[in-house]
Structure 1
Amino acid sequence: MPCSRFSQLTLVPVAALAVACQTTPAESPDTLVNLATVQSGPRVQADELNGAIAREPRNVALLARRATLRLAAGQPRAALADIATALEIDDANGGLYFLQARTFRALGQLNDALAAARQAAEHGFGGPELPLLVGETHLAARNYAAALDNFDRTLRLDPDQPAALFYKGLAYAATADTSTAVQYLQDALARDPHETEILHQLAFLLNAWRIPADAAKYAALGMKLDTTSGLLRYDYGRQLELQGRPDSALWYYRRALALDTTVYRADYRLGLAAAKARQPVAAIPHLTRALRRNPRLPEARALLAEALEAQKRLPEALVQYRLLVAENPGNAHWTFKVWKTNEQVQALLPDSLRTAPRYYYRRPAARPQLAPVEALAPRQSGL
């Protein structure tokens, strides 16, 4: 999925935050674009530098340029190789260390990214980009205090930096300070009104805060700017559900998945609706996909296990019940479900495949009938 302008710098993991920075397209035209051609652009430009670098193998500027293009083309390992070569030639270049930090961040190597960022600062690299990168890396590592400190540094250098305001809003959202988070996201939107990622996060937060009417405005505006965003379709559907229009909400959830199969919350809501309507066949695929991306969704695993059991898919149901026991140790209900389902699964297997012995009922042998005790003859006196 294409990244927003903010996530071109770095990406925040979805599962790492209470409110994740999920990447969406920025502004997309209504016409279809040949994505293969678009994605190959930086890669082709990087390859075009091969000849020049072969002629000037110690040209640091060419190596840095190719590394930048390779990073943009989704080739961070190749970019690291170019950066390492350039640093062997010039190990005092702060810009190279900053590029290295960006590349490590793209690979998810957070500690390496922070170490490279420190090297960039020590070698004179300045500007708001550096604390912004450091702050976002701390945000991904859930070190929210350090993240906020670096975003403040960024804003001191550039008070109108929308990315710093945006990430600062996410940091406050992750610490459950929703009102402050909304304020910073609104400030970011005022400086960059066409950034759909800000609109998505505002809609998502306001829905979570149970203010669907306000969420609807941001989601509707985002859908006008980006006709391909599944996340914004989900946001709009969620506000409809919160306002008591479940049928319309389900339509938007399906549309969200048609546009972007990674919108697991749409799967989750569709699965909940199908389970509530006692439609296990429809609930199973939605809940399975949702749990694959977020194993901690409320009620999802229990509903999936029960739906599988209702469809007589007992081995699969047993797997889910065992996971429920692991997640809820000591829960008598799920422990009983594991025992009961396991007995049913074992009963379906031939003896050679059983993991536990099968005990057959045998009727106890009949006790022998004893002859009645005869009465003793009366004892004769005088003997």
Structure 2
Amino acid sequence: MTNPPNPALPDPRVETLVSAQSLVSTYEQAGYTRAHPAILQPADPFLDLSGEDIRARMFLTSGRAGAELCLRPDFTIPVSRDYLASPLAGRPQGFCYLGPVFRDRGTLPGEFLQAGIESFGRSDKAAADAETLSLGLATAAHFGNDSPDIRIGDVGLFAALVSALDLAPAWKRRLVKDFNRKASLAHDLDRLTLGKGNGRPDYQGVLAALAGSDPKAAHALVTDLLSIAGISAVGGRSVGEIADRFLEQSTLGALAALPPYTRTLLERFLSVTGNPLDASVEMREIAKDGGFVLTPMLDLFDARNVELTQHGIDLKRVVFSSAFGRGMDYYTGFVFELTDGKSTEPLVAGGRYDDLLTRLGSNTQIPAVGFSVWIERLAGGAS
């Protein structure tokens, strides 16, 4: 006698997947083409261009020929690479996606479902930013959340402010890069303020020897030394990035200093928060007091506010913070997160990354903006 076949165990992910597929269909109806980037990706772009949070949680492996590979930790870089390799490169084009991404999340599953959009090549940046946030809100509504908390920022405003400072280029790059790491940014400001001291590292003699040498030759020397020592990656950083950061220290150890008044203005700027309309007025006052020319970026900020209103977004619901960043090193402008008020983990989040495609090999700058969707969070599952 044979036992009757057991019914299949119910899979709670099926309903979530159906909703996610329906969501991506709405993106396609809005003009975004479905993208299908490979799961296995070259690791270097992520190691070089993503933030430290992503680098530390990547799943890495190597091919037989020694190439370092990874399971894709997000979609932005893979979709960008595929776009650049296509005949559409350089033309305005939007893509949408749905699929698994892979990150070490401790006790949570390392594989989870993500959807999203990426928009390339649009010169009407304020309108593209507003459309992106509007689609993000529609995404939350698709899963029944009609009024998520909206938080926005603008990396470009801080970058423009830093650009106006009388500092060595390496310090300017350092401050902008550390914008997403608040403790590091505070440490940078301490090092730059008069009377705080530089806290020179023990290997300052090596750095001093390299200072002023040909950058390419110095980079090649440090890279060779790391390779001879058998170092391929440390803390998720590639050998090239380790060399870059090591050489950067020779410049950061120079005598550049930040007057206390300038630091006060920077901290005043970084404390701006609230309604975007009021924030614009406050930031213009700070720029005027400090003699900083931020008009182009603030004009874009104001134009975006107009576009957001035209997309039906009530600016009274929006909280702007000048210190808000998103942990990805490639963001260059508008950033946002939607949350449910019960957790700080984003449901939908993204922003503008105008320099990424150039860093991936494009000969010309291609404007880009997009967002990612945490499907399980929106569906009420694991975060």
The structure, 1 or 2, with the larger RCO (C-alpha pairs under 8 Å, 6+ apart) is 2
What is the TM-score when the length of structure 1 is the normalising length? 0.20
Larger of the two Rg values belongs to structure:
1
Higher helix share: 1
